[in-house]
Structures are given as structure tokens and as C-alpha cells.
Chain A
Amino acid sequence: MQLLYFAWVRERIGTGGETLDPPAGVATVAALLDWLATLSPGHAAALADRGAIRVAVDEVFVGPDAGLGTAREVAIFPPVTGG
């Protein structure tokens, strides 16, 4: 699975993306975030405030309960501030 990070999530994790294989039990977005937070202090810091985290699976916004299914690309970022 390709993970992508943007804005301060990218800065706190220390990379713009990585390729990871989550454990078999990780089936939802919320479970993926829980698992990612265990990977390093940077991941933990980036994902500490779940209310400030937004997720897109294969370029579509999803909520924490969304299933990962056959997700190819999961992007994690703060609320958007364009315009």
C-alpha cells in the first residue's frame, strides 16, 4: 500500500510517502491510523490529534470507518486550506 503525507503530517512523519504492508487485521481507515501511529515517534506525533486528520483512499475523501478493501493509495493530511 502506498501511503502519502501532506503539509504538517508530512513534516512530522519526516517523509512525503512510504510503501507499507499493514498487518492482516487492519481493515479500516481508523485501524490503519492506529497502526501507523505505532511505527515511530514521528508517526505518533503526526497522528495524535485524530480530529485534525483527513484521509483520502485512492483520491477520494473517506471517514474513519471506511474499509480499506483493495486500496492502492492512502493519503493522510490536515484539513485543506486552499482557495
Chain B
Amino acid sequence: MITTRVQPEAFDSGIETAALGAGRHDIGAVVSFTGHVRADAGLVSLSLEHYPGMTERQLAAIAAEAEARWPLLGGTVIHRHGRLLPGDAIVLVAIASAHRGAAFAAAEFLMDWLKTRAPFWKREERADGSTAWVAPRTSDDTAAARWEQT
């Protein structure tokens, strides 16, 4: 069962990842991805807005889709909102399975779909005081599209 959380608070990737395998003898692989705020071109902060209600619903739907596609033994998805600073962790996807193949694939799938289907919006604050909403990237759409099933 993959648990999903949307929260302003910081999280500890190490603790979350270790918890997935604790006391379990059936898990052979835990794959985790942590996304951080990168200080591109004078970035001072990144503020994440989201759609309360739909965000939780979309994360649960994406997690259910991953569980339907791969034999998973657990997982944790955390996405933060609010004002974050360079170096802060934004998102965690940690997936447990018996073997690494499913865990790697499911983690990548979850990140790709989360980026294009979860209702979050990033606004950059720059050193000169200006702000700008982050534009969607075509490469994110391309990455998400490769998981489409016909």
C-alpha cells in the first residue's frame, strides 16, 4: 500500500525510506527519489500552490495506478507546498518491492505522472525581487506520455 501525503512541513527522506523496509523480510528493494529546490539564476525561493482536495485525490489515483501496474510491497509519496528555499526537499517518492525492477519503474512512473497530473504550481522569487510562475516543460509531458497504455 502506497501512502500519500501533502504537507507544508519538511520530511526526512532517510527516515521515510528506512521505515518502508523495517521489520519486513519480503522486501528486496527500496528505491527512493527526492526532489530538491535548485537555485537557478538568482532564485531566492520557490512557493508551491496546490488545489486542496484534488491534490490528495490525484496522488491517491496515481499511487493506485502504480500498484495496478507493478507488484509493489509498499511506498510513500510526500509532496510539500508553501514557500521553500534552495536546497529544501520538495517531493519524495519511495517504493518497495521484492525486486529492483518494479521498484525502479514504479518510482519513475510516479514522478513522471505526479509532475503532469497533480495540481501544484510553482512560483519563483528572484534576487531582484521579481516573481514568475514556472512554465510547464515539454520534456515533462514527453516523460509522462511514455507510460500511456493503449
* A and B bind: yes
- The answer for the CA separation of A46 and B123 in the assembled complex, in Å, is 17
Give the complex CA separation of A8 and B51 in angstroms. Answer: 14
Q: How many pairs, one residue from A and one from B, have CB atoms within 8 Å of each other in the complex?
A: 66
A83 within 8 A of B: yes
Interface residues in A, total, Cβ within 8 A: 15
Q: When chains A and B are docked, how far (Å) is the Cα of A6 from the Cα of B123? A: 12
Which chain A residues (1-48) contact chain B, with CB distance < 8 Å?
4, 6-8
Asked whether B136 lies within 8 Å of A80 as measured between CB atoms, the reply is yes
What's the nearest-Cβ distance from chain A to residue B80, in Å? 10
Contact of A80 among B53, B57, B117, B123 (CB under 8 A): B117
CB-based contact B51/A81 at 8 Å: no
Query: Which residues from 131 to 150 on chain B have a C-beta closer than 8 Å to any C-beta of chain A?
Result: 133-136, 140
Of A8, A56, A59, A83, the residue contacting B133 (CB under 8 A) is A8
Report the minimal beta-carbon distance from B148 to chain A, rounded to whole angstroms: 15
A78 contacts B by Cβ under 8 Å: yes
Shortest CB-to-CB span from A7 to chain B, Å, is 4
Stretch at the interface among B7-15, B17-25, B108-116: B108-116
Contacts of A77 in B (CB 8 A): 51, 119, 121
Known: A6-B121, A7-B49, A56-B119. A79 touches B136 (CB 8 A): yes
User: Closest CB-CB distance, B119 to chain A, in whole Å?
Assistant: 5
Chain B residues, Cβ within 8 Å of A4: 51
A82 with B51: CB separation less than 8 A: no
Name the A residues within 8 Å of B135 (CB-CB). Answer: 81
Binding site for A on B (CB under 8 A): 35, 48-51, 53-54, 57, 79, 90-91, 111, 114-123, 133-136, 140
25 A–B pairs (Cβ distance < 8 Å), ordered by A: A6-B49, A6-B50, A6-B51, A7-B49, A8-B133, A56-B54, A59-B54, A75-B119, A77-B51, A80-B117, A80-B118, A80-B120, A80-B121, A81-B121, A81-B122, A81-B134, A82-B91, A82-B115, A82-B120, A82-B121, A82-B122, A83-B91, A83-B114, A83-B115, A83-B140
Would you list the 3 A-B pairs with minimal beta carbon distance, nearest first? A82-B120, A83-B115, A7-B121
